[in-house]
Amino acid sequence: MNKKTSRPGANIHVFRRSLLLSAVVIFPSFASAETTSSGSIDKNKVQSPSSAKSTSAKTTTRTAVNRSALRSASSETIIVTGSAVSTANNQNANPVQVITSAEIAKTSASTLGDYFARLPSMGSSGSTNYSPNGGGGASCPDIRNLGSNRALVLIDGKRQTPTTTGCVDMNTIPMDQIASVEILKDGGSELYGADAVSGVINIKLRHNLDDAGIRVRGGISDVGDAMQGRISGYKGFNFDHDRGNITVFGQYMTQSGILEKNRPWAVNNPWTNNPAPGHAFTCCSSVTVQPHIFPQTSGGSYITTTDGTIRPYTTADHYSYAQDQSLSNNLQEANLSGEMHYDFDKHFQVYANVRYAHRQSDEQMAGNPVSGSIYPSTLPSPFMIPEGNPYLQAVLAQAGLPAQDAVIYKRTNDMGLREFSNGVDTWQVSGGAQGQIVDDWNYDLSMTYGSSIQTDTTENMGNYRHMNEELGAVQSDPSDPYSSVYYDPSACTSKPGCVLVNPFQPWTGAAAKYATFTEHDHDYYQMRDFNFRVNNNHLVSLPYRHAGEVKFAGGIEHRSEQGAFVPDPIVSTGDTTGNVSQYTGGGYNVTEVYMEAQLQLLKDTLLAKDLTIDGQGRYSNYNTFGDAENWKLGINWAPIRDIRFRATLGTSFRAPNISEMYGGQALGYPGGNDPCAQVASYGSLAPIVEANCHKYGNNPATFVNPNSGQIPTVTGGNPKLQPETGRTYTIGTVITPRWIRGLSASVEYWHYTLKNMIQTYPVQYIVDQCYTGMAPSYCSFVAPRTGQGAISQVFNLDNNMGSLITSGIDFDLNYRLRVTPFDTFSLSNNFQYLTSYLQNYLDGGAYYNYAGRLFENGGSGQPRVRDYAQATWTHGEFSFTYMMTYTGGMLNNNGSNDEICGQVVYCKVPGIFTHDITIGYHPGRWDLQAGVSNLLDKKPPFVPLSGYGTNINQYGGLLSTGRYVFLSAGVNF
């Protein structure tokens, strides 16, 4: 790619502001997927991930649940994500998927984000480790392709401090400390706050251990890269006759990245157009390592070679940035956590925990493409060598051209490739007390404080002001970027360190040192969260026969969040050759009250083994925009024990985050193509597009696009934003037939409607609406073109606009069969069918159907069919697991319209299967595993205009590495 896309971190993108109730827990000590019987310390002790039973996570969080009145409360049932009162998972009206540590450990996933790429319900619009150009090094989850800023991530039911990219980074979650993961695949704003629009991811860690363990793991791709090593250990012990416990955990992981040049499908295919059949494709970038010049009087374009000669420029001279670019990040992470609890009596039990995570991500990019100044800079645009420059005169004379100004396109590889490093330190401490108030009333009082500090460092960035000085280029009017320039060598000789250069030779030594700088950007974020909550799982029994009990939970929460992004001074002034960013800073606070009531209307009677209704509500008061109320109703009806019907209906909202409200304007380079560089692709509208190109100063016949596959775009915040609103509902059934032991199957229809969405337009949509004449008003977003006819920038600020409607069907199957006393077979399958994904960008405007579509220019894909299956055969201490993922085929979409087969070379992508196997051996306390992912070395499908040879967001996590092998060993003692 030419430029670095706009980093989420550069705007602290997606800060969380919605308030939450601590998710799955009225008591943090109850946050387990299944409750063990009281007093069973051995059951509370956590097994190694792969040796634990895959059917449930037997981990509890504190021995407090084994003591006093709290013990009896927990032994009945547990608190499942999506509810604040105790209930069994299969009796919960909310669709919740439970993933155990054993299931995760059988895969090759290095981080939790890598594992999520397998799940059909997880979308591709978040960032991953395979989003190096603009991903910021973070892995941000996304549910239902509604965006990572609409999914809430909890750890042990508690809201977490996000990183300064605005999400809870999955790279910072220690894999070997995970006990289970619960995913609420339904809106949860009425219980958890504004971020839980698409759902909730609750990560449950291992707690309350009284032994020790160590685990090591390593892996490598079959081409010798993507090497990974991980080591983790824990130690726990009880004290004072088991009234208290202290557990500590540590993990270190390192993983090397992948370069595009080491994947032929990526390095050989950086197409920048999708031509009609029989027409040539364009490749790569016109901003080359050897200077590419445009004489301003004589016209034409030329390239100078390394021996100092000049010749006319052709497309064969284009530069393939793929040969110098990362495909995935280098990643290092270190985690350290400690927790304790002490039970004074049943009324007063104190707990505290502290977690620290350090993450370092590194990537490589080609040298800066330099073609002119970047908004808001007033330095020369385009990059111009003045007529009086003696080196220019000599080069032009070789071509028989008179002395004149010349625009220059230059790639700064000779000054060094860009080396981007992203370091994040996140820590969080929380503490509180819980216990019994009286009878069945219990309380939990807690306080959480967290902080995240991020430093982004980019080496070998170009200083555009200094580059002009080294050319002796001086503006006639320094306040006008389009003013003429003249040659004055004193512009350089008067500056310490400046060296006049021959622009047609490599810039090295002192000249390169003066023309480059190391960029340092800083992000800061902190969160304070106070929670007080009560619950009663036996509030009252309904006064009639075959009636059940009423359960109640409620509480109050106050949270404040503050964040800031401080760019490098050279970046904020626009003197950089890279992205320009402005300061972002602000904060908010919110006070919320919530409650839930669950009534079991009937039980153990004719056609009503169980009939339960549930109501949830939340009132929020933000200091930024005011009040909001949300509610949710659920019903769960089991006419007999073998089948259960459930449904939910609720509202949701998402408050604007810090970046969206206070974000400074920044220039980035999202995927897109200048209409004037692909006029023929518009079919019957091509004449209108060509006419508008001439109107706005572009001749398509001679145009050389410096921003191949990207469009310079200015983004930024808007303090007038209002919250998004939405409504969700689900309808489903769960079947657990008693005549087929071990079988559980569920089918769920889900539907989301979001309105007044906080979003920006797809940049391709803006320029297409303008140049096709479909909506001329969009031309107001497009700034005047440069002197070379290129788009200078598109303004695309956050706004409340449009709506989104999406729906689908989930089918989940789990089956466990004991074949012999020594052999067990288990099968799980997660299937999703997307029935609709409709989006519009103006209230009352036309909806665009993106179901079954893949965006060519990057971004997300919405396959109609996705499936993930896992089958395991266990024989004594041995196990064999087979895993399969399927991603359905999609039509290519250029950001405005579907590509039509017959009019372009690539109009769709096929469905893709991948296959993994893992072999396990579990003798005694040991756990040994070996596995191969992508067994058949399946390559991702080719996608033009993507910059990587494929859509890296959709296919990167499962296919980009290729065939991968891993080994792991662990022991408890």
CA 871, CA 79: separation in Å to the nearest integer?
A: 28
Instruction: Give me the mean pLDDT over the 562-577 stretch.
Output: 92
- The helix (H) or strand (E) run that includes residue 470 is helix 464-470
Sign of CA dihedral 41, 44, 46, 52: positive
Model pLDDT, residue 625: 86
DSSP assignment letter at 593: E
At 12, the pLDDT band (50, 70, 90 cuts) reads very low
Residues 537 and 543: their CA atoms lie apart, in Å, by: 17
| Sign for the pseudo-dihedral over CA of 32, 161, 131, 856 | positive
Radius of gyration of the chain (CA): 30
Confidence at residue 138, expressed as pLDDT on a 0 to 100 scale: 80
Nearest residue to 181 (alpha-carbon basis) of 204, 159, 198, 160 = 204
Apex CA 579: angle with CA 949 and CA 484, to 5°?
110
Going by pLDDT thresholds of 50, 70 and 90, the confidence category of residue 135 is low
- AA identity, residue 438: V
Q: What whole-number distance in Å separates Cα of residue 120 and Cα of residue 435?
A: 39
Angle between helices 763-771 and 686-695 (to 10 degrees): 90
Could you tell me the pLDDT band of residue 10, with boundaries at 50, 70 and 90?
Answer: very low
**pLDDT tens by residue, 846-859:** 898 999 999 887 77
Which has more pLDDT, 5 or 313?
A: 313
Instruction: Please compute the mean of the pLDDT values over residues 63-84 and round it to a whole number.
Output: 48
Half-sphere exposure of residue 649, counting CA atoms within 13 Å on the CB side? Answer: 2
**707: Cβ–Cβ under 8 A, 6 or more apart, which residues?**
2, 3, 669, 674, 790, 791
Does an H or E element contain 728, and which? strand 724-735
Strand order in the sheet with 151-155: 96-100, 178-184, 199-205, 151-155, 158-159
Structure tokens at 787: 């002197």
How many percent of the chain have pLDDT more than 90? 63
Taking residues 483-490, what's their average pLDDT?
94
Report the pLDDT value the prediction gives residue 965, as an integer from 0 to 100.
97
Mean pLDDT of 39-63: 38
For residue 122 the two structure tokens come to 């997880």
pLDDT of residue 42: 36
Q: Tell me, rounded to whole angstroms, the distance of Cα 93 from its chain centroid.
A: 28
Model confidence over 497-514: pLDDT tens digits?
999 999 999 999 999 999
Residue 315's pLDDT is what?
87
The whole-number average pLDDT for the span 467-488 is 94
Q: What percent of the chain has pLDDT over 70?
A: 90
Q: Are 497 and 510 in contact (CB under 8 A)?
A: yes
If phi > 0 it is left, if psi is from -120 to 50 it is alpha, else beta; for residue 697 that is left
- Name the band, by pLDDT with cuts 50, 70 and 90, for residue 65: very low
The residue ranking higher by pLDDT, 236 or 677, is 236
According to the 3-state scheme, what is the secondary structure of 473-497?
EEECCCCCCCCCEEECCHHHHCCCC
Q: Is the pLDDT of residue 23 over 90?
A: no
pLDDT surpasses 80 at 22 = no
Nearest to 108 by CA among 959, 864, 931: 931
In this prediction, residue 803 has a pLDDT band, given cuts at 50, 70 and 90, of: very high
User: At residue 369, does pLDDT exceed 60?
Assistant: yes
Q: What does the pLDDT average to over 215-244?
A: 95
Using an 8 Å Cβ cutoff, are 125 and 149 in contact? no
Coil, helix or strand at residue 429: strand
Task: Tell me the average pLDDT across 628-636.
Answer: 95
Query: What mean pLDDT comes out for the span 527-544?
Result: 95
**pLDDT at 958 (0 to 100):** 78
Greater confidence, 389 or 277? 389
Query: Phi/psi at 573 (nearest 5 deg)?
Result: -80, -15
Backbone φ/ψ region at 223: left (φ over 0), alpha (ψ -120 to 50), beta: alpha
Which pLDDT band holds residue 33 (cuts at 50, 70, 90)? Answer: very low
For 693, the enclosing helix (H) or strand (E) is helix 686-695
Lowest pLDDT segment from 89-93, 498-502, 955-959: 89-93
The whole-number average pLDDT for the span 171-199 is 90
What would the two tokens of residue 810 be? Answer: 């989930």
Averaged pLDDT, 384-408: 93
- Ramachandran region of residue 609, left (φ > 0), alpha (ψ -120 to 50) or beta? alpha
Q: What is the pLDDT of residue 466?
A: 97
Checking if the pLDDT of 255 tops 80, the result is yes
pLDDT at position 54 is 37
pLDDT at residue 377 in the model: 86
